Amino acid sequence: MKCNDCFQQISNYLEGEIDAALRRELEEHLGKCHRCQVVYDSTRKTIELYCDGKLFELPVGVRARLHAALRRHWEGQIR
């Protein structure tokens, strides 16, 4: 496998969407090609960072304003 083929498949590999033969080839390439290993690791890390549940906490004030607005609409609707 060439590096370019490897890059093109990294995304599918992360999805678990490649067949067994291609997966073996890709893993073999990743095992001996540092550049591709870096791209694979950092792509995985990129996704992991955006998914980190500790980040982008909903601020207390924002949440309070949201619930107050919804409550107002709810009460307005009943009347």
Residues 8-47 close enough to bind Zn ion by CB under 5 A = 33, 36
Q: How far apart are the C-alpha atoms of 48 and 73, rounded to whole Å?
A: 37
Name residue, tokens 């549940």.
Answer: 53
52: exposed, middle or buried (Cβ count in 10 Å: 0-12, 13-18, 19+): exposed
Residues 60-79 close enough to bind other proteins by CB under 8 A = 62-63, 65-67, 69-71, 73-74
Minimum Å distance from CB 62 to other proteins? 5
Contact (CB, 8 A) for 13 and 26: yes
- List 19, 20, 52, 79, residue binding other proteins (CB under 8 A): 52
Q: Which residues bind other proteins (CB under 8 A)?
A: 4, 7-8, 10-12, 14, 34-35, 38-39, 41-43, 45-47, 49-52, 54-59, 62-63, 65-67, 69-71, 73-74
